[in-house]
Copies of this chain bind each other. A is one copy, B any other.
Amino acid sequence: MTKLAPHAKLKIGLPPGSVVYVGKKDNRPTRITLIDYDPQNVTEKTITTIEDCVAFKDRKSVTWINVDGLSDTDLIAKLDSLFGVHPLVLEDIVHTDQRPKMEDYGDYIYVVLKMLSCGAKPSEVVSEQLSLVIGSNYVLSFQEEAGDYFDNIRERIRKDKGRVRRMGADYLAHILLDTIIDNYFLVMENFEEDVTSVEDRLMTQKQIGVNEIHRLKRRLVVLRKQIAPVRELVGGLLRADSKLIHKATEVYFRDLYDHIISVMDTIESFRDIVSGLHDIYLTSINLKMNEIMKVLTMISTIFMPLTFIAGIYGMNFDHMPELRWEYGYAAILSIMLAIALLMLFYFKRKKWL
């Protein structure tokens, strides 16, 4: 189950700005890829030392430096001197329990949020932290693990699809964020399938555990915690009034804002529905109990009087004239049958059968 409280123990007592990695320790080594492009040319490189990137910093072309794996904290600490990134930002990049946020540092904007994707197992959501440092002509992106999340963007840059090559670093940042939010939609679709499956089984009275509903609720709590601050983040970029975000890309960030509002609407709708599921579940348990009680009551109602009658004629009184009567036995059996049938008829009318 996803942890809700951020990891705290590793950092207690350290000065602010300490670059300490808190993520999974079995990462592959840090891998740096660089794409530099302008409308005419695209350069792609895999880099070994971060210092190689600095050359691209002063060119007019847009440079996208993507860092996979955050365990090499020394490398990341160097960004302070190389790109002038504030130590607090570097601390946040490697502390992978960040709440999504954007911070405008004047020369660059720092954005951190969660990349969500549907995991291999059904109803699993994989969450990874992405940090973006958006400069005037460069974007630094930091992922916890290497993956193919942004491959289609690389493809778009290479083949000059869409308008990515003609626009600046802010537009590159926008399509990175757009890809992440598109994946939020996927995760929500996936979640809806699970909700609908639980709903359907509940409605058709099939067996379902209370745990399943609680797990849906918990997943929604986690999704909400990870996605809700992104609205603020994108809203912050829209209102930032930063020279780094051009007039022409603003409309794209507005579009992004609509998307994230739409995701949040969906999450709120699911909250209502999931909270309703538990009510239905409780009701269905009560209905089943009623069913059992009915059976019990019917059995008692039919057999108690019959057994009582049998008891009467089992008494040993000397003077019980019926016992001597030749047809007494047949008569009493008939009476018993009649009583039983009357009861059944009564239950039928009371709709207990």
Residues of A that sit less than 8 Å from B by CB: 1, 3-9, 11-13, 15-18, 86, 88, 97-99, 101, 103, 105, 152, 156, 161-164, 174-175, 178-179, 182-183, 185-186, 188-189, 191-192, 196, 199, 203, 207, 210-211, 214, 217-218, 221-222, 224-225, 228-229, 251-252, 254-255, 258, 261-262, 265-266, 269-270, 272-273, 276, 278-290, 292-297, 299-301, 303-308, 310-320, 322-324, 326-329, 332-333, 351-352
Contact = CB atoms under 8 A, between A and B. Distances in A.
A305 to B, nearest CB: 6
Contacts of A185: 5-8, 11
B296 A5 contact: no
Oligomeric state, in number of copies?
A: 5
A158 to B, nearest CB: 13
29 contacts: A6-B188, A9-B189, A15-B156, A16-B175, A16-B255, A18-B162, A88-B251, A88-B252, A99-B265, A199-B214, A210-B283, A210-B284, A224-B269, A225-B269, A278-B283, A282-B282, A282-B283, A289-B290, A289-B293, A295-B297, A296-B297, A304-B307, A306-B311, A307-B307, A308-B310, A310-B312, A310-B314, A313-B315, A316-B323
Q: Which 4 A-B pairs have the closest CB atoms?
A: A15-B162, A310-B311, A8-B185, A13-B152
A315 B296 contact: no
A91 to B, nearest CB: 8
Given A156-B15, A313-B316, A316-B320, A269 B221 contact: yes
Given A183-B12, A299-B297, A255 B315 contact: no
Contacts of A3: 192
B16 A272 contact: no
A11 B279 contact: no
A324 B314 contact: no
Nearest to A232: B261
Contacts of A15: 156, 161-164, 175
Contacts of A6: 185, 188-189, 262, 266
A178 B315 contact: no
Given A282-B282, A293-B293, A300-B304, A211 B203 contact: yes
A265 B311 contact: no
A103 B254 CA distance: 9
A99 B262 contact: yes
